[in-house]
Amino acid sequence: MEADTVKLAPSILAADFARMGEQVAEAEQAGADRIHIDVMDGHFVPSLSMGAPIVQSLRRVTRLRLEIHMMIMNPDSFLEKFVEAGSDSFLVHWEGNNNLHRTVRRIKELGKYAGVVVNPATPAAVLEEILPELDQVLVMTVNPGFGHQHFLHSTLPKIERVRQMVGRFDGGCEVGVDGGINQETAPLASAAGAGVLVAGSSIFGDSLGVATAMSGLRASIARHKSNLLAVKTFP
């Protein structure tokens, strides 16, 4: 995946909540493709996090796509509320969903982008039947529920398998990754076939600022690709 075609989705779970609007604006100015919002209910995952009021507040400060990662039980019950708040897309987990096809169809009926998330231990094969319906597949490269986790390198072959599966359909489905993305792991995920990188701590936790952090991620991907080309062309 070319560095300039990889899309960055800053995750506001790692933002400074006292400066969230300001940091989202910085991410937009630095060329972010979308804003990733983790919604956690304390049941599907142990943590609690943002609800529709956060989305409503962010809608006023950015034109970027607001992407809702629904780490919750019964996501169908919350879709309309998040749509009213200004959400543009929804990512729902394969795990624990009572009727995934119905959920995806409902998201589409609401006029929004629909994606499915798979946890590290979930095989890519579970996506086979639902894939033609999707705008995105998000491969978790950490176990969901907490920030600041280390990238699980064992997920790289699965990213490749998902990319191959998506390639068999002509539907424009994106392949994204979420978890432990930084300047060391972003090139690996990109090389495996990820076109969307969700990154939290490495963007909002960078002491040099959001724009510098995002430039650093893109540069790391470009360097990795350049090194691979150099190795391939070395006599």
pLDDT at position 224 is: 87
β-strand pairing of 113-118 with 136-140? parallel
Active-site residue (options: 4, 135, 178, 206): 178
Q: Is the pLDDT of residue 2 over 70?
A: no
**In contact, 4 and 218? CB cutoff 8 Å:** yes
Say which residue the tokens 């006023």 belong to: 60
The one-letter amino acid at 83: V
Average pLDDT of every residue of the chain:
93
C-alpha 135/C-alpha 29 separation (Å) is 25
Active site residue 33: no
- For residue 187 the two structure tokens come to 């090139």
Q: Phi then psi for 94, rounded to 5 degrees? A: -65, -40
Q: Is the pLDDT of residue 52 over 60?
A: yes
Secondary structure letter of residue 48 according to DSSP: B
Active-site residue (options: 33, 38, 88, 135): 38
* Number of CB atoms found within 10 A of residue 52's CB: 18
What is this structure's pTM? 0.94
C-alpha 68/C-alpha 91 separation (Å) is 6
pLDDT tens track for 140-160: 999 987 777 899 999 999 999
Active site residue 16: no
Mean pLDDT, rounded, for 42-49:
87
